[in-house]
Structure 1
Amino acid sequence: MPFAVHMLGLAVFAQGTSEFMLSGLLSNIAGDLHVSLGAAGLLTSAFAVGMVIGAPLTALAGRTWPRRGALLLFLGVFGAVHVVGALTSSYGVLLATRVVGALANAGFWAVALVTALAMVAPHQRARATAVVVGGVTLACVVGVPAGAALGELWGWRSAFWAVALVSVPAAVALLVAVPGGRPDAPKVSARSELRALARPRLLLTLMVMALVQGATFCTFSYLEPLVTRVTGFGAGWVPLVLALFGVGSFAGVTLAGRLADARPDAVAGIGMAALALGWAALALTAAHPAAALALVLLQGALAFGTGTTLITRVFHLAPDAPTLAGSFATAAFNVGAAAGPWLGGLALGAGLGFRAPVWVSALLMCAALVGTGALALSSGGVPAVRSATRVPTE
């Protein structure tokens, strides 16, 4: 695997830390800014909304930009808004920084995914995707728990400062590792790519991706109140529980990267069915510490392993949309990431208890399974992904 692909994963680590770290800081943010827990959870949704809007727009705008310059620009903006977020005392300003940061993150992802796939052979596409997505899982293992620990020691603002600082070495690594310029011009027009992405089977796959991600974020965004107020762990346990989810995520991405190129249908299908059962089991057993910890680990592995496989599937279903396929996959995942915390907040606001977001996750996964069934019926079975499919070169 090229060194530059690993450096893209490092940069994604910095950005993934920001995307996920609020799950361990919600109570502190809500108390400091005098807003409800649901309003604090909307900061995660705001980030996801920015990703949804930003992914296709930045991909379209940057189709011909030099890759290294684009990556550095997006990462620089991302670091700067975290400085603003660390300094503000306004919930509105913090909400705005989450949206702008997400726009920059979306632009980075749009360039990073296609850059990584352009550097590897066709049979290594799932592994390259896993390396980039692996940066997010490492954020769950190291960055998010560290952010939660910083929040407990020095307040939630210290976590924002940490993200800004981590962005600096990531930028240096990209400057060194990613080649400058753009050796190839886009071979198809933006309009042709958009037409390719309008195929019904691809749109149904994107809908399934959104449901899977919605289920993941619905529970993950409210994991801190679940483990402290239902499982009975003290606040000091929160970073460890988040790290456990991250360990599972890293294991799931790593395994999926090795299996998904050869057996994508099995990885995606089994993963989604197991996720539905796992969220229901967590809702039922959340009061039992041993069961809760085991399920947090398992669900992290299943969620990210399945997600990586679905990202790869989008590229295989849209080989004639090399620039925009990744951005649409990013947007679909973040539709779910926006809807999940919102739905979880509605369930909490309705007085259904701290287990309610987990039940919502189980229901979302049931809907994803229905969508997968419809996808299979529409073609007499979900097509296997073949490694001979063209690799995006843009």
Structure 2
Amino acid sequence: MPFVLPLLALAVFAQSTSEFMLSGLLPDIARDLHISVSAAGSLTSAFAVGMVIGAPLLAMLSMRWSRRRALLAFLVAFLLVHVLGAVTTHYGVLLATRIVAALANAGFLAVALATATAMVAPDAKGRATSVLLGGTIMACVAGVPAGALLGELWGWRSAFWAVALVSLPALLAILRSVPADPAGQFAVAGAGTRGELRALRSPRLVVLLLLGALVNGATFCAFTYLAPLVTDVTGIGSGGVPAVLALFGLGSFVGVGLGGRLADTRPVPLLVAGGAALLLGWTAFAFTAGNPVAALALVFVQGALSFAVGSTLVSQVLYAAAGAPTLGGGFATAALNVGAAIGPWCGGAALTAGFGFRSPLWVSALLTALALVLAGVAHGARRRTVRPGAPSAQDAPA
């Protein structure tokens, strides 16, 4: 793996930390800016909307630039709006910085995925993808708790300064290590925007994006409500919540590593077996959540399975979008964020309906089941349309 990839992952770590860290900073922000907690919560929603809209849009706009110029522009914009967010005293300005930060994050991740896969061998896209997504995992394991700790010690603004500071090494790495390609050259064979859009019409690609949204929705539905589950159902004290979240993150880190090893060589067995195991795991978790030993084991296992399957789906999107590497990465980013928004909303709806703290686990099981049904229907449809005796793509998950 090129040395620049871990440093690109460092930028992804900073950006993912920024996306998730507000959950521990909202009360402090609300008090400081004299707004309601619900108004402060809209900062998180604004970031999510910016990610979904910005990923394909910014990827498309950046196709006129070189990879290095695009990555630098997005990362500099991300860094500067965090500095502005750290010093502003106006809620409207802070809200605007969250939207711009999300757009910059989305554009950076889309181009970083295209850059990472272009810098490795054609059959190593899964490993490159797993390195970048490792930044998101480390944000969940270390970045978000560190942001909450900084907010507790020195106020919420210190977390914004920290995110900006962590982005600097990646900025220098891009300047030194990413090739200064001619502008407009990272569309395949000069295909340009129209060529990449045509390449995205593949039914297989659409299925992969839907599967990614469903699996990520299941992951973040359970993860979002993990704290009240382990305190109110499992019986673990609130002081043990950080350790439980870290256990999920550790499992996620293992899963991304597993996905990186197998996504390039055995994606179909990993997706089929992993998807079935995910469904069984969420169901078992819902039944055994009251048992601390079983719950802790399943927190780790489900974290590993979720990110092994999820990272493999992202790499398969990039394989399926070989003719659209930039927009493929953009749409993969958007699909993951659609899932990250819909999953917690569905889990929250189940809680509001009075189904208890186990209900998000059942929602995660339902979303995973929908993904398996979609994959099965797509696989059946493809078999009916493939000519007898024609070779099938080994890396097709559906």
Aligned to 1:188: 191
Shift of the 347–31 alpha-carbon distance from structure 1 to 2, 3 Å rule, reads: farther
Aligned to 1:248: 251
Assess if the C-alpha contact under 8 Å between 1:144 and 1:239 holds in 2: no
Shift of 1:27: 7.0
Residue 296 (str. 1) matches residue 299 (str. 2): yes
Relative contact order, higher structure (CA 8 A, sep 6+): 1
Aligned to 1:385: 395
Assess if the C-alpha contact under 8 Å between 1:215 and 1:364 holds in 2: yes
Distance across 1 between alignment mates of 2:230 and 2:157: 23
Distance across 1 between alignment mates of 2:269 and 2:11: 30
Shift of 1:300: 1.4
Shift of the 385–130 alpha-carbon distance from structure 1 to 2, 3 Å rule, reads: same
Shift of the 24–279 alpha-carbon distance from structure 1 to 2, 3 Å rule, reads: farther
Shift of the 357–114 alpha-carbon distance from structure 1 to 2, 3 Å rule, reads: same
Residue 34 (str. 1) matches residue 36 (str. 2): yes
Aligned to 1:116: 116
Distance across 2 between alignment mates of 1:226 and 1:22: 21
Shift of 1:26: 6.4
Shift of the 87–290 alpha-carbon distance from structure 1 to 2, 3 Å rule, reads: farther
Aligned match of 1:305 in 305, 308, 326? Answer: 308
Assess if the C-alpha contact under 8 Å between 1:231 and 1:292 holds in 2: yes
Shift of 1:18: 2.0
Distance across 2 between alignment mates of 1:374 and 1:91: 47
Q: Which amino acid is 1:281 matched to?
A: A
Assess if the C-alpha contact under 8 Å between 2:217 and 2:338 holds in 1: yes
Q: What does the per-residue CA deviation read over 1:219-267, in whole Å, with 9 as the maximum and x for residues that have no partner? A: 2223333334433444443332222222111111111111111110011
Q: Which amino acid is 2:175 matched to?
A: L
Q: How many residues align?
A: 384
Assess if the C-alpha contact under 8 Å between 2:110 and 2:327 holds in 1: yes
Q: Which amino acid is 1:384 matched to?
A: Q
Distance across 2 between alignment mates of 1:91 and 1:201: 43
Shift of the 31–278 alpha-carbon distance from structure 1 to 2, 3 Å rule, reads: farther
Distance across 1 between alignment mates of 2:334 and 2:268: 22
Aligned to 1:143: 143
SS at match of 2:395: coil
Aligned to 2:333: 330
Assess if the C-alpha contact under 8 Å between 2:27 and 2:37 holds in 1: no
Distance across 2 between alignment mates of 1:238 and 1:76: 35
CA RMSD between the two structures: 2.7
SS at match of 1:353: coil
SS at match of 2:264: coil
Distance across 2 between alignment mates of 1:148 and 1:197: 40
SS at match of 1:323: helix
Distance across 2 between alignment mates of 1:329 and 1:312: 9
Aligned to 2:216: 213
Distance across 1 between alignment mates of 2:91 and 2:192: 41
Give the structure-2-normalised TM-score.
0.87
Distance across 1 between alignment mates of 2:30 and 2:297: 29
Shift of the 130–333 alpha-carbon distance from structure 1 to 2, 3 Å rule, reads: same
Assess if the C-alpha contact under 8 Å between 1:45 and 1:337 holds in 2: no
Distance across 2 between alignment mates of 1:95 and 1:138: 25
Distance across 2 between alignment mates of 1:190 and 1:345: 38
Aligned to 1:340: 343
Which ranges of structure 1 fall in alignment gaps of 5 or more residues?
Answer: 387-394
Assess if the C-alpha contact under 8 Å between 2:151 and 2:158 holds in 1: yes
Tell me the percent identity.
63
Q: Which amino acid is 1:106 matched to?
A: A
SS at match of 2:346: helix
Shift of the 164–236 alpha-carbon distance from structure 1 to 2, 3 Å rule, reads: farther
Which ranges of structure 2 fall in alignment gaps of 5 or more residues?
Answer: 385-391
Which range is displaced more, 279-288 or 292-301?
A: 279-288
Give the structure-1-normalised TM-score.
0.87
Assess if the C-alpha contact under 8 Å between 2:229 and 2:358 holds in 1: yes
Aligned to 2:278: 275
Aligned to 2:71: 71
Shift of the 185–86 alpha-carbon distance from structure 1 to 2, 3 Å rule, reads: closer
Assess if the C-alpha contact under 8 Å between 1:42 and 1:341 holds in 2: no
Shift of the 313–47 alpha-carbon distance from structure 1 to 2, 3 Å rule, reads: same
- Structure showing greater radius of gyration is 2
